[in-house]
Structure 1
Amino acid sequence: MKAMSRNLMIAAALTGGALAVAALPAAAHAIAQAASANAAKATVDAAKAQGIVGEAADGYVAIRLEAQATAEIRAAVAQMNAGRAQLYAQAAQRTGVQTAAAGAASFNERFGDIPAGQWWRDTSGAWQRK
């Protein structure tokens, strides 16, 4: 009986170890995603400060000055908007509202945090300076 108990403990330890090793790639992927999201946010924030990019009333980030938007800025905006789209879809599913309503509500909550001097796009598509 002691041998069986010992074998079960060894098997449990080995299985737990295998699970921990299997979880390493997932953890590394999550860390890489977070680093990428942070880099995209920093790029978008810098572009906002330059007036190239701004918040839009639909809850997404929009390019205001097309000619000045580099490939890096465009990619960062796309990445940020993809993340927001996921969040809005989840919020819509939880609350029973349309995804567009979740995005607009997010913008309304975030509007006060837009620094003075930065740009935002209203529901008619017109850019406004805060």
Structure 2
Amino acid sequence: MKRLLTYVAILFFCANVLAIDLQQAKAQGLVGEANTGYVAAVTLSPSTEVRQLIQQVNTERKESYQRIAVSHGLTVSEVSRLAYKKAIDRTEPGHFYQNASGLWVKK
């Protein structure tokens, strides 16, 4: 039983080490700032891990945009457009963002 718990602990630790975060995904060119104010996959076939990351980040952003919209009397759409403009300014050189036409551009 002790050995099993050790294996489970090691597996859990390894899974957390291998998990990718947003900055790593951006640095690897897997995701970028979409022109919607959310993140999206730059590649055509993102891994399950990248798709889950995108979903998590976008869920958090949507909740944040909704709070901001309510507190400032704006629509979520207006907030996401403003967030997109800020995201482009904050995008690091070498990372991708989507231009107004929907094309991915490397900054």
- The answer, yes or no, to whether TM exceeds 0.5 is yes
Q: C-alpha displacement at 1:123, in angstroms? A: 2.6
CA distance in 2 between partners of 1:43 and 1:84 (Å)? 15
Q: Which of 45, 53, 61 in structure 1 is aligned with 2:31?
A: 53
CA distance in 2 between partners of 1:66 and 1:45 (Å)? 19
| Residue in structure 2 matched with residue 66 of structure 1 by the alignment | 44
| Residue in structure 1 matched with residue 103 of structure 2 by the alignment | 126
| Residue in structure 2 matched with residue 23 of structure 1 by the alignment | none
| TM-score, scaled to structure 2 | 0.75
> Percent identity among equivalent residues?
30
Q: Deviations over 1:78-97 (max 9, x none)?
A: 00000000011111111111
1:97 aligns with 2:97: no
Q: C-alpha displacement at 1:126, in angstroms? A: 1.1
Name the Cα RMSD after superposition: 2.0
Contact 2:33 2:87 in 1 (8 A): no
1:85 aligns with 2:62: yes
Give the count of matched residue pairs. Answer: 91
Q: Deviations over 1:19-72 (max 9, x none)?
A: xxxxxxxxxxxxxxxxxxxxx8x52221111111101122100101022x2111
| Residue in structure 2 matched with residue 116 of structure 1 by the alignment | 93
State the secondary structure of the residue aligned to 1:124. coil
CA distance in 2 between partners of 1:103 and 1:60 (Å)? 8
Contact 1:49 1:118 in 2 (8 A): yes
* Larger mean Cα displacement after TM superposition, 103-112 or 58-67: 103-112
CA distance in 1 between partners of 2:29 and 2:74 (Å)? 32
